[in-house]
Structure 1
């Protein structure tokens, strides 16, 4: 046997013994998008969990993915992810639904039911279940040529950070407080002036006097070092919030082989679980770290929390009516969401399903 034949024979024998097909695998290019930088947990786990989980699920399928990661505004600004996916500029991404209250009102149900539950896992699992039980949840994504992949992230229990002390809602009168998207509604009836904002600008805006404080959550406040400009940290128990979903451009997704579709969904499950586990371990560390670096932590009394919740207008009902005018089943979503929280024993200073 000559040298070339011997090499070919040995290669074929090796491939047969290891079960590896000699046929070349098909490589699929995927751009993965989110507007926030990797310092934030939901972006970090795209790199650390989602991509590896999808790659692992594809092993032996005959397909591989060449990933391009587009974070921190390199492809889409915060709040621009849905448009980037709809336009096909990216194939897969995490859309922060909190910045899409008009386009995706149903996914924002938790933001219109504040003071509900501080448990991110309960919120995330409840909203994911609604995607399975209420057809309108998935339909709302498909309006924008986007495929819901079955995973996402919820933000830890929101609190208030200010450059002045807060002992009651009376202390908020006339103060400019920034909040993300629909969370601005949590300030109605308190005397504060609510201003829409996001994490990428909070520090500078407080430092320069644009805002007097922000509504934020611990695991984002700590890496952003917000205690340096807003040292008064008040535990208000606004609650954990559903804030983003793992999705894909639907026309592209529909063209993919079943193995690739299944792998993208499997990756979303792994991403969600890994995110929740690390989030749980980081919340207490975030609060402790902010106190160690200049922050002062106080807890609003139960009486003031109840007073704050009661002072708010019926924002859930207003939200539901607006969404239903757009032919979306918001009342069904609201009742199912609050019902699930009640069944789980969540504390509800105000029952937003009573309207």
Structure 2
């Protein structure tokens, strides 16, 4: 065997060993999402988060998205992630208020108007910096949470026209959280179910309307059955938890790998709010009009309803969560309102710019956190 051949064999052996070691070092984590693959969080926000982590790790740490409820449903995500059925998941706190009462208190404190940038920033800041009760309940459920988002203002999507409070009275409305109280005050009948379940319910007449974001018309296929939208903002809810991670999985990561997740979190929040919701809402409404969906403006009577609701919202939300054992829910609500005031000022310079939003989220929230805070 000549020298060149021996050197070639040696080089090939070294390369094979290196490739094998690289493959052994690579790790794929599983994200279980109960919403459709077409949902804008699954199609627009999470892929960017996963790509950022993969790029930072040089491809050694990746995430696989398993959507459409293949691994877990909405109400079962907290338990399923805690049990390790998936490494992370997508959590709506009000689906499991007894498990996440502090987080659900933030979510249930409806924010009115249309400043989703401020609502999202304030909700995430309250969650991560001003809610020790939230951190404790995540630990109790064997999880950590790095990010969330606030949805665009909820509107009524109905199978028949609803243009007045008289039209709304007696209607069966799919709704959760503090929206339940709002619909009761309007004379409607609240119905509890997931947004995905509401598609069939609208078809069968089990519900007449859904209170939710306009982007749901496409995400859940409502546009085929809910041809009438009362386009009056009835509150923004958040945070929906997008980076809800099994604590054992988190603890198994190296400090550097944890940092990759934390560094990418502002990007996830920014794209969830602006790309997956605000941008998608506008696109969805435009497309819905083209296929015959009709929009109606809510008159002064709906503004009066919202004004009346805001007067009682803090008291009713506090009472609701105190009944299930949460101490001092008022402090959480007060923190949210304080943060809203700050973020409404910040949002004026952010506009719809994702990069600006990411930078401000980093400065105002994530630069004040380390991996040891989770």
TM-score (normalizing by structure 2)? 0.80
Alignment size in residue pairs: 337
Aligned to 1:173: 169
Task: Give the gaps of 5 or more residues in structure 2.
Answer: 346-374
Check the 8 A contact 2:49/2:267 in 1, yes or no: yes
Segment drifting more, 206-215 vs 182-191: 182-191
Check the 8 A contact 1:190/1:311 in 2, yes or no: no
Which residues of 2 match residues 98-137 of structure 1 at below 5 A?
A: 98-109=94-105, 111-114=107-110, 116-130=112-126, 131-137=128-134
Segment drifting more, 27-36 vs 314-323: 314-323
Aligned to 1:350: none
Alpha-carbon shift at residue 98 of structure 1 (Å): 3.9
Q: 1-side partners of 2:327 and 2:248: how far apart? A: 23
Check the 8 A contact 1:160/1:215 in 2, yes or no: yes
Match of 2:282 among 272, 281, 284: 284
Aligned to 1:188: 184
Q: 1-side partners of 2:21 and 2:158: how far apart? A: 61
Aligned to 2:350: none
Alpha-carbon shift at residue 6 of structure 1 (Å): 4.6
Q: 2-side partners of 1:292 and 1:233: how far apart? A: 14
Aligned to 1:142: 139
User: RMSD over aligned Cα, in angstroms?
Assistant: 2.9
Do the aligned partners of residues 305 and 222 (structure 1) sit closer, same or farther apart at CA in structure 2, a change above 3 Å counting?
Answer: farther
- 2:52 is the counterpart of 1:56: no
Match of 1:82 among 78, 89, 95: 78
1:233-286 deviations in whole A, cap 9, x for unaligned?
A: 112211222142112111231132112211222333322222233233222221
Aligned to 2:251: 254
- 2:30 is the counterpart of 1:36: no
Do the aligned partners of residues 277 and 314 (structure 1) sit closer, same or farther apart at CA in structure 2, a change above 3 Å counting?
Answer: closer
Match of 1:161 among 157, 163, 168: 157
After TM superposition, the runs of 4+ consecutive aligned structure 1 residues lying more than 6 A away are: none
Check the 8 A contact 2:314/2:330 in 1, yes or no: no
Match of 2:205 among 206, 209, 221: 209
Aligned to 1:323: 321
SS at match of 1:222: helix
Check the 8 A contact 1:36/1:73 in 2, yes or no: yes
Aligned to 2:215: 219
Q: 2-side partners of 1:236 and 1:313: how far apart? A: 19
Alpha-carbon shift at residue 227 of structure 1 (Å): 3.5
Check the 8 A contact 2:109/2:178 in 1, yes or no: no
Aligned to 1:274: 271
1:163-214 deviations in whole A, cap 9, x for unaligned?
A: 3333332322221111145532221222111111222122321221111111
Q: 1-side partners of 2:125 and 2:306: how far apart? A: 29
Q: 2-side partners of 1:344 and 1:46: how far apart? A: 21
Do the aligned partners of residues 99 and 38 (structure 1) sit closer, same or farther apart at CA in structure 2, a change above 3 Å counting?
Answer: same
- 2:322 is the counterpart of 1:338: no
- Higher percent of residues as helix: 2
Task: Give the gaps of 5 or more residues in structure 1.
Answer: 15-19, 347-355
Do the aligned partners of residues 217 and 314 (structure 1) sit closer, same or farther apart at CA in structure 2, a change above 3 Å counting?
Answer: same
Do the aligned partners of residues 232 and 4 (structure 1) sit closer, same or farther apart at CA in structure 2, a change above 3 Å counting?
Answer: same
